[in-house]
Structure 1
Amino acid sequence: MSKFYYNEEQESYDAIVVGTGISGGWAAKELCENGLKTLVLERGRMVKHREDYPTANMDTWDFPHARQPTREDLAKQEKQNRTGYTTRADSKHWFVNDLEHPYNETKRFDWMRGYHVGGRSIMWGRHSYRWSDLDFEANKNDGIAVDWPVRYKDIAPWYDKVESYIGVSGELLGLSQLPDGQFEPMMPLNCVEDHVRNRVSEHFNGRVITAGRVAHINSDKKFEGDGRSRCMYRNRCIRGCPFGAYFSSVSSTLPAAEATGNMTLRPDSIVHEVIYDADTKKATGVKVIDRVTKETYEFKAKVIFLCASAIASTAILMQSKSDRFENGLGNDSDQLGRNIMDHHLNVGASGKFDGFEDKYYKGRKPNGIYIPRFRNLGGDSNRTDFKRGYGYQGGASRGNWEDMVAETTFGKGYKDAVLKPGGWTFGMGGFGEVLPYEDNRMTMDYDQLDQWGLPTVTFDAELRENEWNMRKDMKEQAVEMLEKAGLRDVEPRDNPGALGLGIHEMGTARMGRDPKTSVLNEYNQVHACKNVYVTDGAFMTSGACVNPSLTYMAFTARAANHAAQELKKGNI
């Protein structure tokens, strides 16, 4: 990826893509492969696959403080540190400096951001699950918010396309609530995970434990991209994978876009406005501020894809004001910025397991177990105290960390304690659906500007009664499953934190059937400006309980191909 455009002269493209992460990479690939000359704009710095992963091959002892952040680090990344892991020395360079990129909180919101080519596709969690019609029909069936304008059958072929391209390791289960896909071989469970799987199956009808479905190549099949090969089981994924084993836009979709000869990639380009032409009722381009020089530019295109992330794309639309759109481009419904969703997490249980002392495992696999949703599926699974459902992620491991800390002897006794593996522990944590609430929202503050003179985002969103009731059940069921599986000293936990902590921001520019109640149509087009597409988390009409990135990719591929066809027909 070496093609850049820095000329001050305006130049027109067939398409502009804003953002280079999960969605932006897919938009770039599909548009370029359809023959469109495409300008890809990224607000952050350039990152090249392999060359720019500075900590990928470092060991813990290579870091001055064993990967722990210093006080100086935390002063710059106080909000980014709310996860507890994003500001470690091996990953802090991927996350923004809060002092340089401020935002505001009426209520706490944990906005974890990575400004660089590749975005959060470099350090994402990689869990990849399909939605089902249970999810696409949920709002309609529950009488909540608005109905999705699509169903599973509309997206299934695009799930196929995406999974076949990126490589998703998983197990065929035949569950209606979690459709099967095009899978790489499943990453195996270890002996304790397999034991718990069997015991839960015996004691709980309909509950399934499987391996987490993750976007990792787990075979010798050849995948498109920059020398992508199978997973090495190092579990250093957040640092950037030099093998290209997991999917990221810098190792996969952006190289594919570049290979067409149709992509121009420009980093350090902060898009802040979409330009609207009232005569044609179309967007004509975007306004850009150079991150480094602070010079301003305008780039023109026939179609624009906003893929900057749920919050950032909506912020761009909110700033795109005109006589036609006084409150932001496409905001006739007053839904821009509303319905913020995430997944609520950090609730579950853990315990100790006696047995399998003669067993261990090889490598550090990059996933654990996954328990698909089992609540509100009908019959005995239905609850009256909360709607929707949740799943669990977790796993079993052997560790001797606590034994080492408690050890007070030296010499042979200490060496033996260090070399002998500790006991088995098993933990699971829930990921629950958050309902779309109209007054969970973001707004733009024009009194508090950033260093580029742009308004800052203010968050006013929180968990509600439905989520709190769900959390009680998430904790109780985790304890019960572990106890029935034979674990001892089972301890529940519930540390809710705040929205944003799941790093699955959704909503803010939802799609729907009616322009009066939604921003986008069924193809991710702005209702009132059809040549602007939004295909990141902003378009989500509800949140389900599974990691959303696979769905973003499927919708993006679908929308990009739709845009290419509409351009050829002269419809946009």
Structure 2
Amino acid sequence: MAQTDYDVLIVGSGAGGGAALWRLCDQWRNKGKRVGMIEAGDLLLPTHVENLGLLSRERALQYISSITRPLGKRLPEFSGAKQVFGLGGRTIQWAAASPRIPSYLISQWPIQLKEMNIYYKIAEQVMNVNKSFSKSSLPTRIILNRLWANGFFNATSIPFAVDITPTKYGAIHSNAVFSSILFLAEALNYMPFDLAVNARAVQLLIEKGKTAGVKVVSPNMKSYWIKAKTIVLSASTFETPRLLLHSGISGEAIGHFLLDHSALRATGRINRKLLPEDLGRIGILIPNTTENPYQIEFGMLKKPLQDELEMIFHGYGNVEPRFENRIFLDPYERDKYGVPKIQAHFNFSNRDRVVIQQLATGMERVISSLGIIDGQLKIYLRAPGDDNHESGTCRMGNDPYTSAVNKFGQIHGISGLFVADNSILPTLGANPTLTTVALAIRTADYIIQQNK
């Protein structure tokens, strides 16, 4: 790859990077373009962990734990944070819940809602997002009826990125749960691209306000410069600003406005006799609204035992984007590649704490309406970063003083440098992956237009 001049080089193979690669290859087939992707991690799995039939749930969780790097000791103010370095990023182990961010929040973004909905539809189609995976379950319908009867009229089944197309007529659908590795596989149907794993990007090369390349270090500590006219950073909410800051790229908002949901969790037991013998998949979503600025989702935690069924409830509250919540370079510690490690400042505002209380009250109402019978029910606040929804550190906007990228994901003031991961989201109102994929596809379309 060091001998190739790329039209586009993508750094990171997670949801955003995979989506950008897929779109570029789809639209540039037979155009003679050169596209490359580098990934800091190794090939850990060939697909989402749940697609591996020989792994039980317990073994799958053990494996996920073994490849996850907790950051809590380094980031005491964001102590739930963790990273996964590997082809596909965290999409090889995500829960696949794929709701859209509410319209009232997107209306505050520098993108028209009508255009965003177009890209949502593209993302949902390519990721096989549907509600049928859980909606077809009789227990889901029973629980929804109970919620509707108790006033939760917007309760619905969770949209999951799961391919439920039956295998027939020679078409095999074995990779049911989506991961960005599917993006890479699909892209190969359109045009060739170069891919390097265990390739750590450590510095960006900018010449006269334009991107020129990326310095990459291999596991044996050899350095290479990979040249590229356009670079798409999809390294994560932590690693993308880290790379930008270490490369000396100025920007008032880079690393700032660190976002995460205020995440609550509860478990409880529901009377097994209320549900049919054949349980199926249980997945319920109560969406975020202006009146209730939080999202609640829940499902079955374990297989039923005796007369009770254990359920798990997740609540995700809105958090204000604030300049003081940030990722920054540690002035004292570096990694083995010589790049400064990261530190974080993060706390909840008074408004955030009001939402947390609203969310706790809302979860209590939901649980009460379902007839949870465990008298020891407790709702607790998870550590910041524990929900894997961290975002905002390269936020999108029109003002270079309050945002890192413009509405197309391009770093303000630098030609050919783009960001396509969770870090560009200016607000959070739902699980971020679907939105990140939609925005990455939109960014790829803009790059294609600029390279005609």
Per the TM superposition, whether the score is higher than 0.5 is yes
Give the deviation of 1:190 after TM superposition: 3.8
Q: 2:63 aligns with which of 77, 86, 90?
A: 90
Give the match's secondary structure for 2:238. Answer: helix
Give the match's secondary structure for 1:346. Answer: strand
Verify: 1:58 aligned to 2:55, yes or no.
yes
Give the deviation of 1:59 after TM superposition: 3.9
Task: Give the number of aligned pairs.
Answer: 446
Quick one: which amino acid aligns to residue 188 of structure 1? S
Cross-structure match for 2:177: 246
1: distance between equivalents of 2:20 and 2:302?
42
Q: 2:16 aligns with which of 23, 31, 50?
A: 23
Q: 1:188 aligns with which of 131, 136, 155?
A: 136
Give the match's secondary structure for 1:261. Answer: coil
Q: 1:537 aligns with which of 419, 422, 427?
A: 422
| Unmatched segments (≥5 aa) in structure 2 | none
Residues 422 and 89 of structure 1: is their aligned pair in 2 closer, same or farther, counting only changes over 3 Å? same
1: distance between equivalents of 2:377 and 2:92?
32
2: distance between equivalents of 1:32 and 1:397?
39
2: distance between equivalents of 1:52 and 1:493?
30
Q: Deviations over 1:1-46 (max 9, x none)?
A: xxxx4xxx54211110000111111111112233231110000112
Q: How does 1:47-196 map to 2 (within 5 A)?
A: 47=44, 49=46, 56-59=53-56, 67=59, 88-96=61-69, 104-137=74-107, 147-170=108-131, 186-191=134-139, 193-196=140-143
Q: 1:504 aligns with which of 385, 389, 393?
A: 389
CA RMSD in angstroms, aligned pairs only: 2.7
1: distance between equivalents of 2:177 and 2:51?
17
Cross-structure match for 2:435: 551
1: distance between equivalents of 2:19 and 2:200?
20
Give the match's secondary structure for 1:529. Answer: coil
Give the deviation of 1:102 after TM superposition: 9.3
Give the deviation of 1:330 after TM superposition: 4.5
Give the match's secondary structure for 1:495. Answer: strand
Q: 1:203 aligns with which of 124, 128, 150?
A: 150
Give the match's secondary structure for 1:44. Answer: coil
Q: 2:351 aligns with which of 420, 445, 466?
A: 466
Give the deviation of 1:460 after TM superposition: 1.3
Q: 1:436 aligns with which of 297, 321, 337?
A: 321
Cross-structure match for 1:352: 270
1:351·1:491 contact (CA, 8 Å) conserved in 2?
no
Residues 199 and 399 of structure 1: is their aligned pair in 2 closer, same or farther, counting only changes over 3 Å? same
Cross-structure match for 1:516: 401
2: distance between equivalents of 1:467 and 1:350?
26
Cross-structure match for 2:245: 318
2: distance between equivalents of 1:53 and 1:451?
33
2:48·2:91 contact (CA, 8 Å) conserved in 1?
no
Q: How does 1:163-562 map to 2 (within 5 A)?
A: 163-170=124-131, 186-191=134-139, 193-204=140-151, 207-220=153-166, 229=173, 243-250=174-181, 252-278=182-208, 281-290=209-218, 292-321=219-248, 329-331=249-251, 334-348=252-266, 350-353=268-271, 355-356=273-274, 359-361=276-278, 365=281, 368-374=283-289, 376-377=290-291, 389-396=293-300, 399=303, 421-489=306-374, 491-544=376-429, 546-562=430-446
1: distance between equivalents of 2:48 and 2:448?
33
Quick one: which amino acid aligns to residue 242 of structure 2? A
2: distance between equivalents of 1:46 and 1:337?
28
Residues 211 and 548 of structure 1: is their aligned pair in 2 closer, same or farther, counting only changes over 3 Å? same
> Percent sequence identity over matched residues?
23
2: distance between equivalents of 1:277 and 1:260?
32
Residues 58 and 543 of structure 1: is their aligned pair in 2 closer, same or farther, counting only changes over 3 Å? closer
Cross-structure match for 1:175: none
Give the deviation of 1:121 after TM superposition: 1.1
2: distance between equivalents of 1:443 and 1:24?
23
Greater Rg by CA: 1
Q: 1:32 aligns with which of 18, 25, 28?
A: 25
2: distance between equivalents of 1:39 and 1:564?
15
Quick one: which amino acid aligns to residue 323 of structure 2? E
**TM-score, length basis structure 2:** 0.90
Give the deviation of 1:125 after TM superposition: 1.4
Quick one: which amino acid aligns to residue 370 of structure 1? L
Give the match's secondary structure for 1:107. Answer: helix
Give the deviation of 1:346 after TM superposition: 2.5
Give the match's secondary structure for 2:213. Answer: strand
Cross-structure match for 1:81: none
Give the match's secondary structure for 1:308. Answer: coil
Give the match's secondary structure for 2:104. Answer: helix
Give the deviation of 1:195 after TM superposition: 3.4
1: distance between equivalents of 2:155 and 2:72?
41
1:131·1:152 contact (CA, 8 Å) conserved in 2?
no
2: distance between equivalents of 1:424 and 1:539?
39
Residues 466 and 44 of structure 1: is their aligned pair in 2 closer, same or farther, counting only changes over 3 Å? same
Give the deviation of 1:342 after TM superposition: 1.2
Residues 213 and 37 of structure 1: is their aligned pair in 2 closer, same or farther, counting only changes over 3 Å? same
